[in-house]
Amino acid sequence: MSVKVKCLNPIAACGLDMLDDRYEIVENTEDAEAILVRSAGMHDMELPDNLLAVARAGAGVNNIPLEKCAEKGIVVFNTPGANANGVKELVVASMLLAARDITGGINWCKENKDNADVAKEAEKAKKAFAGTEIKGKKLGIIGLGAIGVIVANAANRLGMDVYGCDPYLSVEHALNMSRDVTLLKTNEELYEMCDYLTVHVPLLDSTKGMFNKEAFDKMKDGVVLLNFSRDTLVNEEDLKEALASGKVGRYVVDFPNPTTVNLPNTTVTPHLGASTQESEDNCAKMAVSEIRDFIENGNIKNSVNYPNCDAGVCPTEGRLAIAHKNVPKMLSQFTTLFSKDGVNIENMVNRSRGDFAYSIFDICSDIKEEVVKELEAMDGVIRVRVIK
């Protein structure tokens, strides 16, 4: 029987092509065992009982009820880094567009398309669109994940003085970052010194509204604030005041909403950051390969609500994958049950993340239905899957 996959948004064909005849794309969400999604909202959705996994082809997961999924044993994945280059290129373009009134100049030319003296008049008109260069300006990057680090490197190559802050900077990202980038301990230090600020953090309860009056007050007068993460990271009432007073010179935001599209000195783009052929292809391929590894091997890579857990391809007769609560005695209960049934464990991987944990057992015999039933009945067990 094939595994039923529902796409809640259009997913690039090169990713869907990676689903072989063991998978089937279905129309009805109720039938789905796996969901592929971009930005469709899932918070009000009834989660099907058969649903095993959700893969977000993108980075932000604020459209998915992560906790609710975890409670039901539904593993949620995202595709970190897969669209980072697309976002980086738009951030760089946006800094250049904020430094000079290039769009104003382009519009002037369009308005003068029937003017025979356009060449002469352009020489007079152009002073209205003149600006500054980004070389030598200070750029502050809040969040040095997959996107923040490559924005830092690109800006450094363009001659900017680059500063960054990220209390959770990973070794991998630190190793990828140019040594010319100066790390600061607090966002406040960035606010005080930077001409441009760009934010690359996820939307969480702790980051929602982080750009508020208190933060704006600490920023340099006329700062350019770039937001390619999520609109609600910014307190838009406080931003209105900061724009009116000139504290924030320009706000560049990739999230149109009834407020942002009406703000003065603001450039709004329609969530274009990852809308490139390459980013869409990369995200789709990564999302599908995460789903396949999970369905076929029980492995978890790049999950945002369960721990990563990789046991490779099963070399033995049978494999069991158990999603469970991260509470004492779970493992001892599993192993006691296996030993009671004479089941020999060949390999075992157990990982935890917050309140949830995940265990993979490779065993050298078939898995009996009664054992599965006993596991399912244990307190703290959320879902048991017989992978093989």
Instruction: Tell me if 35 contacts ligand MLT by CB under 6 A.
Output: no
Write down the least CB distance from residue 82 to ligand MLT, Å. Answer: 8
Instruction: Tell me if 81 contacts ligand MLT by CB under 6 A.
Output: no
Instruction: Tell me if 80 contacts ligand MLT by CB under 6 A.
Output: no
Q: How far apart are CA 81 and CA 65, in angstroms?
A: 22
Q: How far apart are CA 281 and CA 51, in angstroms?
A: 24
Tell the residue number behind the tokens 């991987």, with chain if given.
Answer: 349
Nearest to 291 by CA among 69, 70, 76: 76
Name which of residues 247 to 286 contact ligand MLT (CB under 6 A).
Answer: 273-274
How many other CB atoms are there within 10 angstroms of residue 19's CB atom?
A: 19
Instruction: Tell me if 143 contacts ligand MLT by CB under 6 A.
Output: no
How many other CB atoms are there within 10 angstroms of residue 123's CB atom?
A: 8
Write down the least CB distance from residue 78 to ligand MLT, Å. Answer: 8
Q: How far apart are CA 305 and CA 73, in angstroms?
A: 10
Write down the least CB distance from residue 164 to ligand MLT, Å. Answer: 20
Instruction: Tell me if 8 contacts ligand MLT by CB under 6 A.
Output: no
Nearer to ligand MLT, 58 or 143 (CB): 58
Name which of residues 83 to 142 contact ligand MLT (CB under 6 A).
Answer: 83
Nearest to 274 by CA among 263, 264, 283: 283
How many other CB atoms are there within 10 angstroms of residue 139's CB atom?
A: 27
Write down the least CB distance from residue 147 to ligand MLT, Å. Answer: 9
Pick the binder of ligand MLT from 4, 38, 137, 138 (CB under 6 A).
Answer: 38
Nearer to ligand MLT, 78 or 266 (CB): 78
Distance of CA 219 to the CA centre of its chain: 27
Nearer to ligand MLT, 207 or 326 (CB): 207
Instruction: Tell me if 381 contacts ligand MLT by CB under 6 A.
Output: no
Task: Identify the DSSP state of 274.
Answer: T
Pick the binder of ligand MLT from 39, 156, 276, 352 (CB under 6 A).
Answer: 39
In the chain, alpha helices (H)? 13-16, 66-71, 84-99, 102-111, 118-125, 146-157, 171-176, 187-193, 213-218, 236-245, 277-297, 330-340, 369-377
Nearer to ligand MLT, 260 or 359 (CB): 260
Name which of residues 47 to 66 contact ligand MLT (CB under 6 A).
Answer: 58-60
Instruction: Tell me if 146 contacts ligand MLT by CB under 6 A.
Output: no
Nearer to ligand MLT, 230 or 250 (CB): 230
Nearer to ligand MLT, 83 or 297 (CB): 83
Nearer to ligand MLT, 83 or 260 (CB): 83
> 164 near 150, Cβ under 8 Å?
no
Q: Is 179 helix (H, G, I), strand (E, B) or coil?
A: coil
**Residues lying near ligand MLT in the complex (CB under 6 A):** 38-39, 58-60, 83, 273-274
